[in-house]
Amino acid sequence: MRILHTSDWHIGRSLYGRKRYDESAAFLDWLATLLESQSIDALIVSGDIFDTTTPSNRAQQIYYKFLCRIAASTCRHVVIIAGNHDSPSFLNAPKELLLVLNVHVVGSITQNLEDEVIVLSDNSDVPQAIVCAVPYLRDRDIRIVKPGESMEEKSGSLIRGVQRHYSDIGKIVEEKLKKYGSIPVIGMGHLFTAGGKIVEGDGVRELYVGSLAHIGKDAFPANIDYMALGHLHVPQKVGQCENIRYSGSPVPIGFSEAQQEKSVVIVDFETQPFKIELYTVPCFQSLERVTGTIDDITKKIDELRFKESNAWLEIEYRGKNIAADLRGVLDQSVEGSDMEILRIKNRRIIQDLMLQAKKEQTLDDLNEIEVFTRLLDSYEVLEDERPSLLQAYNEIITNLHEMDTNAQ
């Protein structure tokens, strides 16, 4: 059995107003070719298929076209779980139809935990692997809310809820191993582990309120051979364990990930011990963050022009002097090339100009927490009163993000 682990496709994502459908389609074309060339038996996708709970028709078309192509390939199984960006009901809606194509979808937990334990068989119906397809576990799925809980109590309750869920799954796996013998066990999850690495601006939201509920590697059952995780966009091992990994996002979500090497993970259980390899994902749309003075920026753009780059640019001006007609100068510097400036940040180091820039900021420049913090500032809320207000606000935002708008 050879599996390929990937996650965090975020089909339908925008970058400063530019839709990125072409990149998603190009990645999935590349992935389909890799599945064939590497004789992959099962594709494991650990959540955040779409970037929003209400994906557009174009995003859906890209998704289903890929699944149809895989169904006709040598890859016999696809296992997909929902992430925190996905709508559980939307992913689950066609699951019975997709099952005919050997595409197993688990959008949410059910009353029957057996639904999350999937046995993958070969063409002769001989079991080859067991997959623990645990979707993103929402707060309400794994614990009972108690009034007056502190942030630490809430985090502890969340961690225990996740551990309990995986422990119950592990018991079901143990019974199946008694029945089927020694076959590989692949775990799945979409969560934030303790010590996980992120990069600023990567769009990764804290999955649990308070940001303390980061799950330790000991939460996963000991009978799992390989743990395929999603949510964090940086490819990484968990706690230095080779067999517990985030595959990372295959396409840079923003300019903060532009220089990251993206990859998918192939696990070969046909060797003893089993072998883990990372395969680098090509860059389908170059992103470049250019910073400095006007001279620094124009020099870098000239270098990119010489290389015939088609990069999307995020430019951050950090000069001390006022840059007259900054936009016009920069537009002229890329004129006639295939490059496009998506955003210009003006970081002039003059206090009065910085204050003026702050006044001119729009909601697009701020995240949800920054907006709320500005509101606290405007009402002169005391520092010792802010933690409880921020916690309550975080709970509201989390519940809004977790609301399944497609559910009846």
Shared domain check, 308 and 198: no
Residues 275 and 388 in one domain: no
Same domain, 220 and 301: no
Please tell me what DSSP assigns to residue 403: -
Q: Residue 350: is its pLDDT beyond 50?
A: no
Categorize the per-residue pLDDT at 353 as very low, low, confident or very high, splitting at 50, 70 and 90. Answer: very low
Position 355 scores a pLDDT of 54
52 and 106, same domain (yes or no): yes
CB 270 within 8 A of CB 1: yes
268: left (phi over 0), alpha (psi -120 to 50) or beta: beta
Q: Give the Å distances, CA to CA, from 355 to 21, 291, 305, 381.
A: 37, 20, 35, 21
CATH assignment of the domain containing 313: 3.30.160.720
How many separate domains does the chain show?
Answer: 3
| Claim to verify: residue 349 and residue 384 sit in the same structural domain | no
Q: Which of 280, 307, 325 is the last residue of a domain?
A: 280
Contact (CB, 8 A) for 79 and 36: no
**pTM of full prediction above 0.75:** yes
- Higher-scoring residue by pLDDT: 386, 357: 386
Residues 210 and 190 placed together within one structural domain of the fold:
yes
Q: What is the pLDDT of residue 283?
A: 95
Do 209 and 328 share a domain, yes or no? no
- Any idea what the CATH number is for the domain that residue 48 is in? 3.60.21.10
Q: What are phi and psi of 368, to 5 degrees?
A: -60, -40
Question: In a 10 Å sphere around its CB, with 0-12 CB exposed, 13-18 middle and 19+ buried, how is residue 290 labelled?
Answer: buried
**E-assigned strands of 75-190?**
77-81, 103-106, 117-121, 127-133, 185-190
Q: Rounded CA gap, 29 and 300, in Å?
A: 32
> Within this chain, do residues 338 and 388 fall inside the same structural domain, yes or no?
no
Q: Which domain holds residue 326?
A: 287-357
Domain stop point among 280, 303, 321: 280
Do 66 and 183 have their domain in common? yes
Residues 256 and 377 in one domain: no
What pLDDT, in 10s, does the model give residues 260-293?
Answer: 999 999 999 999 899 999 999 999 999 999 999 9
- Write the pLDDT tens digit of every residue in 193-209: 877 777 765 556 555 54
Do 221 and 303 lie in one domain? The reply is no
Q: Are residue 14 and residue 94 in the same domain, yes or no?
A: yes
Q: Which two tokens stand for residue 243?
A: 């067999």
* Planar angle of CA 49, 55, 57, nearest 5 degrees: 115
